[in-house]
Structure 1
Amino acid sequence: YADPKRRDVEFDTSDSVFLKVTPRCGVTRFGVKGKLAPRYIGPFEIAERIGPVAYRLNLPAQLGHVHNVFHVSILKKYMPDPSHVIQYVHVQIQKDASYEDQLVRLLARELKVFRNKEILLVKVL
């Protein structure tokens, strides 16, 4: 069965798009852990269309080790708004397009004691 509300996504060359970042379990993204963390970085300009569902992006030198051809399902059209831009300069992206955020400062530490276990709660910046 087909989805009657499905729409084909197409981009033109020189359009700007966001790139979806692969989430990792337990990894802090851009200083925020969990479901409130941003899931897209960019915007990046589309260089060319490779096939019906693949696009080549103009990536900066910092992302040179990442393959620059992406499926349309991990691209999102950029609507110009300065608050949407995530700075990728501070992010170290691995070859599999994942990243890990570094600890800046330890703000608070608390030990929760339950009946049969203890959990250390740490607040980081």
Structure 2
Amino acid sequence: MEKIRMIRENMKTAQSRQKSYYDRRRIHMSFKEGDHVFMRVVPITGIGRVLKSRKLTPRFIGKYISNPSHVIEPDSIQLKDNLTFETLSLRIADRSVKTLRGKEIALVKVIWSQANGEDATWEVESNMKESFPHPFS
């Protein structure tokens, strides 16, 4: 019991130290209605998978207008409450069969539509047929 108590105290001490490091660097911000801000979002597919972020993939939406003389139109993306947005499947680009433990799994390479362009992922064909029957018909 003594060792458990000591471990808990050490964990609390470490947690307190990490909190103080974070609090020192944190900048408190407040926003008003009408302020222009960037929002961090995560694109997800219709089958619930998150598209992987690549090096040049934008991770934020929205436009910050630093100069009133140039105005940029905001993105028209419908965000969910958890700051994710659903992407649409455009087409099937390729097919493949993967053998795993003696089973053959049919895969399709799906091209997804995003506000910033296109992205591609390999998906299980049966899952895609359930969620998006239109590319298969």
Normalising by structure 2, we get a TM-score of 0.42
- Greater relative contact order (Cα < 8 A, sep 6+): 1
More helix by share: 2
TM-score by length of 1: 0.45
The structure that has the greater radius of gyration is 2
